[in-house]
A and B are shown apart, each in its own frame.
Chain A
Amino acid sequence: MMDRQEKGDLSLVALTKSFATFTAVHPLDLTIPQGSFFALLGPSGCGKTTTLRMIAGLEEPSGGRIHIGDADITGTKAHQRNVNTVFQSYALFPHMTVLDNVMFGLRRRGDKQARAKADDILELVQLGQVAGKKPTQLSGGMQQRVALARALVNRPDVLLLDEPLGALDLKLRRQMQMELKRIQQEVGLTFIHVTHDQEEAMTMADSIAVMNTGRIEQLGDPATLYEQPRSTFVANFLGQSNLVRARVNPGGTDHIVTVRVHDTDLEMAREHLPEGVDDVWLGVRPEKLRLGEAGGPNHLRGIVRDVSFSGVATQYSVEMPWGQELIVVQQNDGTARAALGETVSVSWAAHHGFALDASQDAEAGAELVDDHG
């Protein structure tokens, strides 16, 4: 039973969860390839944890199906699924030793090599020397690794991680992110990682589904999501964005199209413009903007209203003539600098701009970004 190699992709088909007063997850279609590191990213209450719990079997879907490979597991109970979870609170059994915690799943299945497998996995997470201790005697980071080992040792078809790093401090979290990524590559299992931390998701995952109010806003690899967000929510939730109201000018070439922003024509790549929209938000990431004229053909002039130095980079707020402030993040590489109150040019290349349908709220998702994320 344990050596079943044919696992297959996880697919969710129109998976839905409704509670009495609201719908937590709207019909969701998603296929997660076997062996990938997948992140479900979104603010709290977006339905990501509910989705995870439905996959684990801890929550019953209101509709839709869940498949692993060819097997439909929708109707099975949690203990019948070859899916394991690393819980946010770790949920380690306090009355058992670390070793007994790790062997719990193997023993329930009557695995004869439980002890050897548990020893191996504890070695992998570097906890061999504390196998005989109780979880409460360990630090948060160690408990986290026990929780990971307890789930991993079962070699599940899918490993679910429910914000497993949320309780750790920043430094330990960075370290565990690397560790998790390394372990995932080593064991080759499908990992689904639920998080509200956009940086964590981008660091670790092969692909990310950004969720908002029970729906997937956008699905893709981290770089595509960051460079070409398709909604204001994604643009704001993943990193910062400057969004400026613009009108698309008719004409242009196959590659370049111009948009009009308050009497200035600006260039952008045609492939970054959604079809059939004239009113847009023109978006540029703060680090793509340059102080001075060297950044590219697009220029806007404004007054520096705020300067904050953070070592590697300096962040400027530049007020445009129409009152909006653009955020410019400038590497401290000794090139451009500006002082408070100075009038400066801000420039960027055509392919760094992206356009979003102007019918959306420009602030969507911005207020939800976690500060220490």
Chain B
Amino acid sequence: MAETAVLSTGSAAPRSRRRRNWVPYALLLPGLLWLVVFFVLPMVTLASQSLQEGNVDDGYVFTFNVGIYLDALKQYWPQYLRSLLYAGTATVLALLLAYPLAYFIAQKAGRHKNLLLVLVIAPFFTSFLIRTLAWRTILSDDWFVTQWAQALHITDLLQAVGLTANDSLLSSRFAVIMGLTYNFLPFMILPLYTSLERLDPRLIEAAGDLYASPWQTFRKVTWPLSLPGVVAGTLLTFIPAAGDFINARLLGTTQTTMIGSVIDSQFLRVLDYPLAAALSFILLITIVSLVSVYVRRAGTEELL
């Protein structure tokens, strides 16, 4: 680039330099516009909506009604807590399932790597809703899954720890958490895979050569080097899972309602827009604060 500027003579040089200066901004523009129209504006509208009073028929007036946030929290804190708990559990389960799988695909699968990755993504070819509905069938009382679980007394165990309310698997905390885990698993696998794929197997050999047992090698070398993937995967799983309402609605009961369902019904059925907006904002703030604490604690800035 510099060479071109030196070689070109007369007025051509300054003109090309000027053009290069605004090129990066021009590249930013489409994305920036998109974000302004579809992210910033809705956010501002939502924030203003949450501070208005009125109803759909008579219209809304901006009254700076901060009290609604307290009311929302007071009324719906169990749903918030439940959402964070379910999403957190699903994230941990997804991590436990995804890590060995991603490790296998990245380090051991050899020429089957691409096939396995396609299989990981394959569920996305059907809709989220259909897949979750399929779980209703899978977990229904007259299917073999529930019947075997009953025969093996797994249902008793789940009931004892409070994950189910009776002999069924469907319509329970268990089913909701399973659904969340299943639906967001690929979002955990893919970033983990990317991190583990970059892991140089010679580092694992080196650790073994330096007296580290397989477990120590995992703890001191593999795990820390895969942290960027772990952080990315847990965020991509936890954030959408915390706001999800499909799993809780299709696989749960009124006892397992998550905050996403509440927001959904306040917006679309009760038509209490200010409350729905306030609920959305509380969820947003909660997640952003949790995530920033988490990312800072994980200390992965240097690794990313």
Contacts and interface: CB of A to CB of B under 8 A. Distances in A.
Contact of A79 (B202, B213, B221, B302): B213
Nearest to B216: A108
B200 A91 contact: yes
Q: Taking each of B205, B206, B210, B221, which has the highest tally of chain A beta carbons within 10 Å of its own beta carbon?
A: B210
Interface of B: 200, 202-203, 205-213, 216-217, 220-221, 224-225, 302-303
Interface in A47-99: 56-58, 77-80, 83-85, 87, 89, 91-95
Interface in A1-43: none
27 contacts: A58-B208, A78-B205, A79-B209, A79-B210, A79-B213, A83-B209, A84-B209, A85-B206, A89-B200, A89-B202, A91-B200, A91-B202, A93-B207, A93-B220, A95-B224, A95-B225, A95-B302, A95-B303, A104-B207, A104-B210, A104-B220, A105-B210, A108-B211, A108-B212, A150-B210, A151-B210, A154-B211
B121 to A, nearest CB: 29
Interface residues of A, number: 24
Contacts of B225: 94-95
Given A79-B212, A150-B210, A58 B224 contact: no
Nearest to A91: B206
Contacts of B303: 95
Given A95-B224, A95-B225, A95-B303, A154 B210 contact: yes
Contact of A91 (B203, B216, B217, B302): B203
Given A91-B202, A95-B225, A85 B209 contact: yes
Contacts of A84: 209-210
Interface of A: 56-58, 77-80, 83-85, 87, 89, 91-95, 104-105, 108-109, 150-151, 154
Nearest to B221: A93
Contact of B211 (A91, A95, A105): A105
A80 B207 CA distance: 12
A104 B212 CA distance: 8
A109 B213 CA distance: 11
A93 B303 CA distance: 12
A105 B224 CA distance: 17
A91 B224 contact: no
B202 to A, nearest CB: 4
A239 to B, nearest CB: 33
Contacts of A56: 209
